[in-house]
Amino acid sequence: MTRLRLASSLRLAALVLHRRLLDNLVAIASPLGRTIISRLLLGILTLAAVSVIIFSTVSLLPGNFATAILGQSATPETVAAFESRLGLDRPITTRYFEWVNGILHGDLGESLSSSPGEPRLVGDIISLRLRNTLLLAGATALIAVPLSIVFGILSAIYRGTFFDRLVNGISLTTISLPGFFVGYILILYLAVTLRWLPTLSNVKESMDVFEWIWRLALPVLTLTIGVVGHMMRMTRSAIVSVLSSPYIHMATCKGASPARVIVRHALPNAWAPIVNIVAVNLAYLVVGVVVVETIFVYPGIGQTMVDAVRTRDIPVVQACALIFASVYILLNLLADIVAISTNPKLLHPR
């Protein structure tokens, strides 16, 4: 009950603060500026609420963390001393505010697997792994986003043809296949049978660029197959919806070529839904890499989170979950801002 009251009080205070800030900005900001500021404030409030959920949920997990780390043979005195050293014996509200204060100062805490003489900071553990995950997601995005937009536009232009049916059939098939299944199938055929690519993606700092690309090929291909179909179908739907508008028929009647109609008239008005679906899939690339990184033993933040859950390293789990939530919220905020900037009608929803 105490945790629920704490979460409710924080949410109420955040909403009151959000309303007051908006009231103060009404007179000095333009409609677009007010909308962007409102989205940013809502994103910050959402992240604050998510931080409460993450911390309280992890704290409510069954079992004793100290016993899980020290082992069942640890004496009660040893367990109590371990909990006291890490602050696990203090109230949850105190630990939460200390955790948030540390995050605001760039300190994610100390790993529970640290030895007394050699502390391991959570930031040092996940910094390199986060870079690897962003590299994997970025490489996938560079391939998947242009591919899905191009095929979505072509499918909309030639809708109803054999090409459209073929592309839609392939996209439906890839969407229906879970990521771990696609990963194992690719390992079986491309790595085990044909031996074109390695089964594991255990990259290291000492490797050159070409070996990095070679070892990233299978994870990138797995993620690309998982997101291209969805983005392509949503792009096609957005373009087809715009193509039924009267001004598109007018442009066609004036003799404009199909390419000009798409590029000059349809695509600018379809950017909002396209940007939203691209942002959601980019968020999936960062958040949903846990399964892919585990399959290919890729040293990313997803694999780090899985290892931390296995060893009950709670500070690392909380930091990874907060990073995932932050990336997801940030990408959705950017999608909203881009959609509003490209479509002024969204400033005045009805």
DSSP string, 185-222: HHIIIIIIIS--S-S-----TTS-HHHHHHHHHHHHHH
336 contacts 39 by C-beta, under 8 angstroms? yes
Among 77, 116, 113, residue whose Cα is nearest residue 314: 113
Give the span between the Cα atoms of 49 and 7, in whole angstroms.
7
- Residue type at 9 in one-letter notation: S
Q: For residue 113, what are its two tokens?
A: 């697997």
Residue 159 has what DSSP assignment?
T
Distance between CA atoms of residues 148 and 171, nearest Å: 10
Count CB-CB contacts under 10 A for residue 270: 24
User: Cα separation of 282 and 142, whole Å?
Assistant: 11
Residue 199 near residue 211, CB atoms below 8 Å: no
Q: What is the pLDDT of residue 261?
A: 75
Report the pLDDT value the prediction gives residue 107, as an integer from 0 to 100.
Answer: 79
For residue 97, what pLDDT is reported? 85
pLDDT tens digits, 123-162 = 888 888 888 888 888 888 888 888 988 888 888 888 888 8
- In whole angstroms, what is the distance from residue 223 CA to residue 246 CA? 38
d(CA 236, CA 157): 9
| Backbone φ/ψ region at 297: left (φ over 0), alpha (ψ -120 to 50), beta | left
Rounded to a whole number, what is the distance in angstroms from the first to the last CA of the chain? 39
3-state secondary structure of 110: strand
Give phi and psi for 110, each to the nearest 5.
-115, 135
pLDDT at 345: 62
Structural domains of the chain, with CATH: 2-122 (no CATH), 123-347 (1.10.3720.10)
Query: For residue 142, which amino acid is it?
Result: L
What pLDDT, on a 0 to 100 scale, did the predictor assign at position 315? 83
DSSP 135: H
- SS3 at position 121: strand
Contacts of 11 (CB under 8 A, 6+ apart): 49
Predicted local distance difference test score (pLDDT) of residue 136: 86
In this prediction, the residues of the chain whose per-residue pLDDT falls under 50 are: 25-28
